[in-house]
Amino acid sequence: MTSLQWGGRFTSAPDASLLAFGSSLVDDLVLAAFDVLTSHAHVDALAGGGIIDTTRAAALHAAIARVGQEIENGQFAAYAQSSGAEDVHGAIDARVRELEPEHGAFLHAGRSRNDQVATTLALYARARAEDAAARCRSIARSLLERASNELEAGTRLCATTHWQPAQPVLLAFWLVAAAEPFARGAKRFSAAAESASECCPLGSSALAGSSLPLDRQAAATRLEFARPSRNAMDAVGTRDAALDVAHAYVRACVDASRIAEELVIWATPAFGYVKLGDASSTGSSLMPQKRNPDIFELTRGVASAQIGTYAGALSSLTGMALSYHRDLQETKRQIVDGIERAARALAAFERALADTTFVRDACNAHAADGYAVATDMADALIAQGTSARDAHAQIGALVRRAEEAGEPLDLSARASVEGKVTYGSTSPAAVRAAIASLVDELESFDKLRMTRS
């Protein structure tokens, strides 16, 4: 039982199968590097409170740094899985004791796994939120760059509602519409990262604080939290910061899924608006002609799964009393699994998006399909003094006659998009202004982030 962090009051070893059932070690490995940061901070708290001297603090920092190197080079995972520890936090503690037999046993003074896990998970959530904010900004910028190119080309397409022809728009207008949610997503992730940095649970101990004079401010400062947590019982039992990040990932995956859905359909021969690149497509083991949009389909699937995973993490908290309960191990697993899967999905979506090209001729050729310019013709009558109801009826009848005759309406898609006059519309001027505004917003966001850091 030397690998366990408890056992003094027990007369026999725990049942191996039950210990394995309770282990979260495999799920926790992704948190290992963040636990190292937490352990360094705890040493600062011990030293700052005069609980350990500078010699012991230096020895512990050196051993923890060695574990950090082993995590970085991939050696630690094998050690952890063979250590018999219940979780990665216990495995790191055991390794520190191996590396530093004289001083290692002092590392856990005044610390419970309750505050250790809460702090490590907050650090993990903050890092993943910052990564995702950067990912969202990158996706938004890529879409805006394409929007600028398509604006210059004047590419038009038939936008739909209910998947039926609605009105002609510039392809650049659609691309800006696709970029907007990712700009909002970047803000959402940044807010989640800021929330995760608000208060440091470390030093809360099991639930009541510690009788040892831990320097909690030193720990909070090292880990770049705004302050130590105010209430130990709340600090060890809340998972709000991590849930905020998990929620932001769900929203980003849903945003990506909506775009993926459109691209999947546009890639079919019935539309032919986009061409999928070889690097991001797959074929069929039976049908030689197939080019399948697997990455975009998986993006949809992951988004759906993330909703369930997030709901599961949230549901695991219902009926749970304050402070720490082992149910939170399931909450942690669902949060971490969800975030890791979502992060991979967003990265794959971004790469597949970059590998997709728009077929301008196909987009332009169908921009006025389905009598999509009818609304513009009704608007023209209204501008001349006809009531909206009468204009709708007159153009509706005109569409019926044109449809029966198999003839188009006498208005081009180009005239339709160029005729828009409202702010935020699909007119070239409005789209150009929207691109510039969103680019400025993203740049301001970067400047603000650099100022804060």
- What pLDDT shows up at residue 104? 97
The answer, yes or no, to whether residue 205 has pLDDT greater than 70, is: yes
pLDDT tens, position by position, 57-68: 999 999 999 999
pTM of the complete model beyond 0.85:
yes
pLDDT > 70 fraction of the chain, expressed in percent and rounded: 93
- Would you call 284 a catalytic residue per the annotation? yes
Task: Give all domains of the chain, ordered by start, each with its CATH number.
Answer: 17-109 (1.10.275.10), 114-185+206-365 (1.20.200.10)
- What pLDDT shows up at residue 331? 94
- What pLDDT shows up at residue 218? 98
CA 444 to chain centre: 21
The answer, yes or no, to whether residue 1 has pLDDT greater than 50, is: no
The answer, yes or no, to whether residue 382 has pLDDT greater than 90, is: yes
pLDDT > 90 fraction of the chain, expressed in percent and rounded: 90
- What pLDDT shows up at residue 423? 97
What's the pLDDT band for 86 if we cut at 50, 70, 90?
Answer: confident
pLDDT tens, position by position, 99-134: 999 999 999 999 999 999 999 999 999 999 999 999
The answer, yes or no, to whether residue 376 has pLDDT greater than 50, is: yes
The answer, yes or no, to whether residue 18 has pLDDT greater than 70, is: no
Of residues 162, 211, 285, 453, which has the active-site annotation?
162
Provide mean pLDDT across the span 157-181: 98
- What pLDDT shows up at residue 8? 59
The answer, yes or no, to whether residue 79 has pLDDT greater than 60, is: yes
Q: Which range, 286-290, 432-436, 440-444, is most confident? A: 432-436
The answer, yes or no, to whether residue 200 has pLDDT greater than 80, is: yes
- What pLDDT shows up at residue 290? 93
What's the pLDDT band for 30 if we cut at 50, 70, 90?
Answer: very high
Of residues 83, 112, 142, 284, which has the active-site annotation?
284
Provide mean pLDDT across the span 186-209: 97
- Would you call 40 a catalytic residue per the annotation? no
Provide mean pLDDT across the span 357-375: 98
- What pLDDT shows up at residue 396? 98
